Structure formats: structure tokens, C-alpha cells
Amino acid sequence: MTKSIGDYLAELTTRFAQAGIESPAADAEILIGHVLELNRGQVQAQALIGAKLDAGAHNQLEELATRRANREPLQHITGVAHFRQLELAVGRGVFVPRPETESVAQLAIDALRASGQVKPLAVDLGTGSGAIALAMAVEVPEAEVYAVEKSTQAFPYTRKNFEKYEHTGARLILGDLRDEFAELDGLVDVVASNPPYIPSAAIPRDPEVRDFDPELALYGGADGMDVIHVVSATAKRLLKPGGFLVIEHADTQAEQVCQLLLADGWREVQKHRDLTDRDRAVSAKK
């Protein structure tokens, strides 16, 4: 028997809620839309008019819904993560960008716009999917943006995303953030980074993070600060006097990051909250 989209949407929402998914209705709408090539509003409209699912779409949805109910990230299933104005390719092996990182990108974008340079220069250290770097490149089109990613598992997704937005001229390399871009030493206006910052013993509760996000992008040593130390040192090398650094961190690490940057000789060290009013980033000037 063919099901209506409305009935199947209600069924999926219940299944996802029982699986512990935080946004079951939204995930159900996105998944149905992914298969039917509709946006969420169109899915809702089709549900209201009693449109039917054909057998092929129903079978495909059942397979994908089972994966989501098993807590595979929705973005891995659809292959797409939305970040500010971007649609980014993601999958197993690359960190899925989070909404809270959008506020970190905004700090970097604001600093680029305020730099006073005709062609400001920016670097994203540990770019992952390319989210922060490409947000800077798209939203500040006059900027020259460079990015580095270490993970060979993440890099195919990163490269695909940079190719999609190649009109920006953003440049990507595979390498270690601690020693790349020597040719830019002392020339950069803005350095941004969302490094791994989870302490190695603090295993995330959410299965989407614990079981699917790559460990290289999550864990930052015993206290979570190992890579942040490296970011501070690299940014100090890259930035010109007065250059701007912004680092994302866990909502419990603001004081640690501030103290680290002050000890490294940074000026104007400031904490910043995200849209949920949690400490999310620290900025500083060289």
C-alpha cells in the first residue's frame, strides 16, 4: 500500500524521536526532501495536499531512515552540510561543521573587513571541510585566503569543496599547520582556526560525534589544548603586527585559552559567546 508523504513524515518523526534524535521532525523533512529533491517547505506542502510516495522512493527512504535512526549523521547520509552561505560536501572522515562555528567565522570575516587592506590576507589552520576558509573567501571576495588540512581522509572532501568555490581563488594545501606557509610569515591579516580541543578522556556522548566524527578533528591531548598551543605559535609567525587571531574552543575552555594566549604574548585577548550564549571563541591581536 502506498503511503502519503504526510503519514510517512509523521512516522519518521516518531521513529527519530524514539532514537533520541534532537530534531526529529526537521531531520525527517530533510531526509524526505533529499530523496524527492524538494526543500523542507515543499515537503510540508506536499504533506498538506496528501501527495503520495511511490514504492521506489519509499524503499530508498526506509534504507536511509534506518541509517539515521542508528545515529549516523544526517549530513553523511545526504552528503551535504550547510554553513552560512555554503553547501559543503561531507562524509565519513571529515568533521561536519557545526552552527556554533558560524559565529567564529563571523569574527574572522569582520576582522578582514576592518583590516583596511585592499586585498587582506587570511589563513585557516586545520580547515577540515573548508567551512571557515570558504566562508571568508565567499563573503570577503577581495581577500586572499589560504587553508591547510592534515587529514588524508578529510582532504578529498576539502578539495571538492575548494573546487566548487574555485571562483574565490581560495588556496588549499595538504600539510601540517605547524610549519606551512613560511612564505606568508609576517604578512597575514587574519588567522582563524577550529582545532581539535576535546580532552582525550572526555568521550562525547552523542553517537553522531563519538562514532562518526574523525578522532583527528576531535581530540586535543590530555587537556584538549595541545593543538591550540601549536595554532598560537603558527599564528604568531604568520600575522603582521596588529594582525587578528580567532580560535574556537569548548564552552568550558575560555579561561584556559585566554591564559595560554596571554602567556604567548598576545594582546587584546577577548572571549566571545556564540548564539546560544556559550563561550565559544577567543580572539587576540599580535
DSSP string, 202-249: ---SSHHHHTTS-HHHHB-STTS-HHHHHHHHHHHHHEEEEEEEEEE-
Looking at the structure, give the CATH architecture of the domain made up of residues 80-285: 3-Layer(aba) Sandwich (3.40)
Q: Which residues pair with 246 in a beta bridge?
A: 192, 283
Count of all residues that appear for the chain in the document: 286
**pLDDT number for residue 206:** 83
204 pLDDT band, cuts 50/70/90, is: confident
Q: How confident is the model at residue 170 (pLDDT cuts 50, 70, 90)?
A: very high
- Of 151-160, 183-192, 195-204, least confident by mean pLDDT is 195-204
Q: Is pLDDT of 97 > 90?
A: yes
With 90 as the cut, is the pLDDT of residue 218 above it?
no
Average pLDDT, the chain: 94
Contacts of 30 (CB under 8 A, 6+ apart): 40, 74, 78
1-5, 86-90, 173-177, 268-272: which has the minimum mean pLDDT? 1-5
Of all residues in the chain, the percent with pLDDT exceeding 70 is 100
Question: Residue 199 — pLDDT band, cuts 50, 70, 90?
Answer: confident
The conformation of residue 199, written as its DSSP 8-state character, comes to -
- Residue 231's pLDDT band, with cuts at 50, 70 and 90, is very high
Provide the pLDDT confidence category of residue 24 given band limits of 50, 70 and 90: very high
Write out the H or E segment, with its range, that includes residue 55.
helix 55-69
161 vs 96: CA distance, rounded Å: 13
CA dihedral of residues 13, 14, 19, 24 (deg, nearest 10):
30
pLDDT interval class at 1 (50, 70, 90): low
Is the Cβ–Cβ distance between 261 and 255 less than 8 Å?
A: no
Rounded to whole angstroms, the Cα distance separating 207 from 251 reads 20
Question: Is 30 within 8 Å of 21 (Cβ atoms)?
Answer: no
Q: Can you give the pTM of this predicted structure? A: 0.91
What does the pLDDT average to over 154-170? 97
Tens of pLDDT along 48-93?
A: 998 899 888 999 999 999 999 999 999 999 999 999 999 999 999 9
Report, as residue numbers or ranges, the catalytic residues. 95, 194-195
C-alpha cell at 177: 599547520
- Chain segment 122-151, per-residue pLDDT in tens: 999 999 999 999 999 999 999 999 999 999
Q: Is the pLDDT of residue 2 over 90?
A: no
Residue range 177-206: mean pLDDT, rounded: 92
